[in-house]
Amino acid sequence: MEKIANRKDIKPGGSLPFTYKGEQAILVRTKEDDLMAYIAICPHAGGNIEWDEQINKLLCETHLSLFDVKDGAVYRHSSAFEVRNGLTRIELKVDEDQNIYAL
């Protein structure tokens, strides 16, 4: 297990980049207080994935595809590219002190 942060370190609706097994990753705390984590690399062309709090979606900065935060599935892809695979989810564990770990 790798400690990412403590729940108090990330506000509801916010995100936190981290490294998971040598890859860029992102932790999102939804406005509903759910914690989700994904490898932050687009499955199409390796673009960077960022959290867009305004629209509550994960966004590929390379070709503007959107991914659902709940499951990492493609929400909308750009007309230039077709993305069939969603983001790779990282399983999380939260201990009694609210420390968040990637499994």
Residue 11: give its domain's CATH number: 2.102.10.10
What are the tens digits of pLDDT across the range 80-100?
556 568 999 999 999 999 999
Indicate the DSSP class of residue 10: S
pTM of the model: 0.92
Q: What is the DSSP string of 25-45?
A: EEEEE-TTS-EEEEE-B-TTT
Q: How far apart are CA 60 and CA 79, in angstroms?
A: 13
Indicate the DSSP class of residue 9: G
With a cut of 90, say whether residue 55 has pLDDT above it.
yes
The whole-chain average pLDDT of the chain stands at 92
What are the tens digits of pLDDT across the range 35-47?
999 999 998 878 9
Number of folded domains in the chain?
A: 1
Domain of residue 41: give its range: 2-102
